[in-house]
A and B are shown apart, each in its own frame.
Chain A
Amino acid sequence: MQRAYIPQIIARQPWRVILPLLALVVFGSLVLYSAAGGNIRPWAGMHVARFFVFLVMAAAIARVPQDWFKRAALPIYLVLCVLLVLVELIGGIGGGSQRWLNLGFMTLQPSELMKPGIVLVLAWFYSVLPVGEVGGWRAIAPAVLLLGFPAGLVMLQPDLGTGLAISFGAVVMMFLAGLPLRLFIGGALAGAIVAPVAFFTLLHDYQRKRVLVFLDPESDPLGSGYHITQSKIAIGSGGLFGKGFGHGSQSHLDYLPEAHTDFVFATMSEEWGMAGGLFVLAVFFLVFRWGLKVATNAPDRFSRLLAAGMTTTIFFYMCINLMMVMGLAPVVGIPLPFMSHGGSSMMTNMICIGTIMAVDRWSRRTGTGLL
């Protein structure tokens, strides 16, 4: 094999994920370049630069031993909870919905970090839970508490999208941890009953409106339905191979809102067509297949759950974002991983990637892996 000619340090890197990610990021920066009217600035250059910075961070995370992960899981979770409370307090003083803390040198969005945080703490929890308790209430109640507190705080902010992302990650963790199936079926049934009630009582007016408009975007073509309608026009008008690089009228003439962040997929589809969209889906497929493979090959329960949970978190991002831009889900502010411009989502996703890479390392060290 070639491996003999390549230095160990390079050959050891998990290229199976880095290459697809690089492809996504470069493609994303091309789209951002076009969206800026053919300019590296302000988005495209920054996008690539950020990726490499966070890739270094991910590589660093990958070298952290499993012990540290286990020991840090609960403290990190607690710190994030405190930060969420702080955000709530400061937001209460400042008025309106505040989701970030200004640390002076950067703004920190604790809810964003809570997505990998909840996966980490639940992986730790189920790894320390005695095997015999998995079927009982001891396996459920603490997990529900661990989830309920931060998810409740985030929804209070109010940030429905992130709240759902955290919950989704946690529920998948419970599912994979082997909790009885009837719980999930019962939960789904309960959800089907509670959701309409929550819709009319818990949601804010603007959130309710978003859902209603999602169901019928044309009912409000210039208001909140505008986003969905324009996004569908951008994707639909692209056709098979798109209008050509730099020729997307929807994004260039400002009809498409948030063309470089949440709706970057629409911007891309307009210029690259269905072909570009399928390429993005295919690359994501490679990434998730790698993530789940790492999870199934992982040496122990903690690393298995950790890898699968992190993969799910990224998947949820992608899934909700694409459904939103194609008019299958209401407008919630969730960016597309590795393509949307934005620092904190890139950081979260790279933390997830770094963690999966760490799991990958552990399995190779113990020799159970096939890689």
Chain B
Amino acid sequence: MKQKLPMTSAILTNKFERRTFVLGTAQAAVGVLLATRLGYLAVAENAKYRAASESNRVNLTLIPPRRGWVIDRRGAALAANRADFRVDLIPDRVVDPDATLATLGPLLGLSADKVSDIKTRLDKARGFQPVEVASNLDWDKFAAVSVRLPELPGVIPQRGYSRFYPTGPSVGHLVGYVGPASAEDYERERNPLLITPGFKIGKDGLEKHFEERLRGVPGARRVEATASGRVVRDLGTREDVPGKPIQLTIRAGLQDYAARRIGLESGSVVVMDCATGDVLAMVSMPSFDPNSFSDGIGRIEWKMLSEDDHVPLRNKVLRGLYPPGSTVKPMVALSFLEAGLDPHASVGCAGGLRVGNRVFHCWNHRGHGAVDMAKGIYQSCDVYFYHFAQQIGMDTIAKMARRLGLGQEFEMPYPGQSYGTVPDPAWKLRKYKKEWAIYDTVNATIGQGYMLVNPLQQAVMASRLASGLELKPRLLLDRHAPAPASMGFRQEHLDLIHSAMNEVVNGRGTAGHARLPLPDVQMAGKTGTAQVVGLNIGNGKGGQWKHRDHGHFICFAPFDRPRFACAVVIEHGGGSPSAYPIARDVMTYLFNPAKAMEALEEYEKQWGGDVRTRMRAKYDAYAARFGATAPAAPDEDQAAQEVAAENKPAPEPTAAQTDAANPAPEPEPAPIVLPSPSPAPAPVPSPAPSPTPGT
């Protein structure tokens, strides 16, 4: 065997040389391997790594696009943008949130409740979702933060544009508001723009519905930046493409005027053009200020809004359902005419109508004497309608109600509208498995019972009655829209209704105070008072706010050549006298804005300033009382859900009604003492502990 041979030096040297050769070869092989790897990385994979190196080197910062404006029919801004300085936080990059906020607080002059709002949002925000600290800063504050950036990691000061609503609360429900994108929004879209500081997404109303159109295309700033984010140099900027504007049929001035005129009440005003169906004003008050919502809803604000029994978060125009009361009477009268009833046919009203062994009361227990159709309307005599409704039948009346828009769906760019009910025998059978009864007809003809409508439908009814055209409410201005078709009513029928409605205001009717303070324009209208609770609980005029009657008024002007139609609903206003003065002033504004403003300013002195002054005062009072101790506002989506819950229509009675409603008293035809404005309704005491405004 070879191993048996004695080991010698020569053999070892030989072995060494052979093994050194092996070692050298192995080393050379490693060298070749390294060279190959180098070639693979630098040549074969060059494109990939070149791209990776570029994406390291170049930092792309998105510039949020300027949002498209929302303008009124004449081009005035309802929602615009204004240049501002703002400061955001990126939660992922903030090292010590408490210390950062402690530094920022005094620099930006943040109040304690604001600081706790930001803390709550920081806790809830995910990673790269920016949290707004402050916007609309002046240069000094902005500069003070900018120079201290090195000690404030995660703080992003920048100049940009923010959404601005010149008339604030007046357009809250009309336009909606914007806010930072939520985690859900981001998950849905996966667009890096959504987590760009300063970018806002439409959260409600038109802002949400037309998000795509309004958004625009973001600009971008390319900079060379180090790994730690320090900018070395600017490589260029691409301008943003602003979003497209949307033009509404609204008249900005009118919208604001109506919102202010509602005053301390809780209600809606809708004004429509009688030639086209354009919605000129659509107001639900009280409202929120969309300007202050854009940085998220603060805890004080949320407390203030959610405790208010006037439900400022509900868009009452589209989501409020009310029994329309006597405002249906012109519609019922028209159905009688269409059914062939002679308008001069009359019935004697002695304060009630006996059917079988039952007596159905008129609101006027003393009776109206002989009542024909015109008097039935302008005196709002219930007996007239009870009597002839028995003859004509409910189906005819319900058909007319639907023709004029009640209970109908209209396409509007808002989610979650409530459409209400126009009852008829078939509906009742389907819904409650019960036969239609006489008292059901009695209820329906005076707009009570099962009948529920929203204020927009009332405005449509008014405009169709006024024009005889099949008007549909339109919110987006379209100058080339086809002319609306005729409803097919006979002009003499309409004339009769118009003159009776004119009598309501300018004659022997129920709303003498509603006469326009203008020499050459006469307005026609119809009052309505809808009971909220039975007479056993309250008389509907005083007592608890929640128990007072709703006040309605529909009208159009001029009565002989209608141009504008309007519907006003005041929740728990104590009857129609709460509604028609508002309608009067809104209509006045359409023909003579200066005169209308004069009246409004007089009222606002008594109310403690205009809407925004009152809201600010209330906010300050809340802030002083609760400060940072108020519970945190729910996050956007939670808030949205609560608002939605708030916006659910009043539930239909689950059990069928078993009796006629007692008609709420219409006002006596008061002596005409115009144009001095009647004293405003007293400030409404609310059961919730809310500080009095103006303190």
Contacts and interface: CB of A to CB of B under 8 A. Distances in A.
Contacts of B537: none
B169 to A, nearest CB: 46
A59 B56 CA distance: 46
A237 interface: yes
Contact of B224 (A253, A304, A323, A328): A253
A237 B42 CA distance: 6
Nearest to A126: B12
Contacts of B23: 172, 175-176, 292, 308, 312
A131 B12 contact: yes
B42 A238 contact: yes
Interface in A277-334: 277-278, 281, 284-285, 288-289, 292, 295-296, 301, 304-305, 308, 312, 315, 319, 322-323, 326-328
Interface residues of A, number: 50
A253 B35 contact: no
B20 A308 contact: yes
B188 to A, nearest CB: 26
Contacts of A304: 13, 16
B34 to A, nearest CB: 5
Contact of A326 (B9, B34, B227): B34
Given A308-B20, A319-B30, A326 B13 contact: no
Main secondary structure of the interface of A (DSSP, over half): helix
Contact of A295 (B20, B35, B224, B228): B20
B542 interface: no
Interface stretch (B44-52, B113-121, B362-370, B468-476): B44-52
Given A134-B12, A254-B226, A254-B228, A239 B3 contact: no
Nearest to B45: A236
A277 B42 CA distance: 10
Contact of B53 (A240, A250, A289, A319): A250
Interface string A326-348: 11100000000000000000000
Interface in B10-54: 12-13, 15-17, 19-20, 23-24, 27-28, 30-31, 33-35, 37-39, 41-43, 45-46, 48-50, 52-54
A289 B21 CA distance: 11
A249 B53 contact: yes
B57 A249 contact: yes
A238 B49 CA distance: 8
Contacts of B8: 131
A104 interface: no
A269 interface: yes
A178 B22 CA distance: 13
Interface string B48-72: 1110111011000000000000000
A236 B31 contact: no
Contact of B28 (A249, A269, A273, A285): A285
Interface in A224-242: 230, 232-240
Given A134-B7, A176-B20, A178-B15, A235 B42 contact: yes
Given A131-B7, A273-B42, A274-B39, A237 B16 contact: no
A296 B20 contact: yes
A96 interface: no
Given A134-B7, A233-B56, 13 more contacts: A135-B3, A177-B12, A178-B15, A178-B16, A233-B52, A236-B41, A238-B42, A249-B53, A253-B224, A253-B227, A274-B39, A281-B34, A301-B16
30 contacts: A131-B8, A131-B9, A135-B7, A233-B52, A235-B42, A236-B42, A236-B45, A236-B46, A236-B48, A236-B52, A237-B46, A237-B49, A239-B50, A240-B43, A250-B53, A253-B224, A277-B38, A277-B42, A292-B23, A292-B24, A295-B20, A296-B16, A296-B17, A296-B20, A304-B16, A308-B20, A319-B27, A322-B34, A323-B34, A326-B37
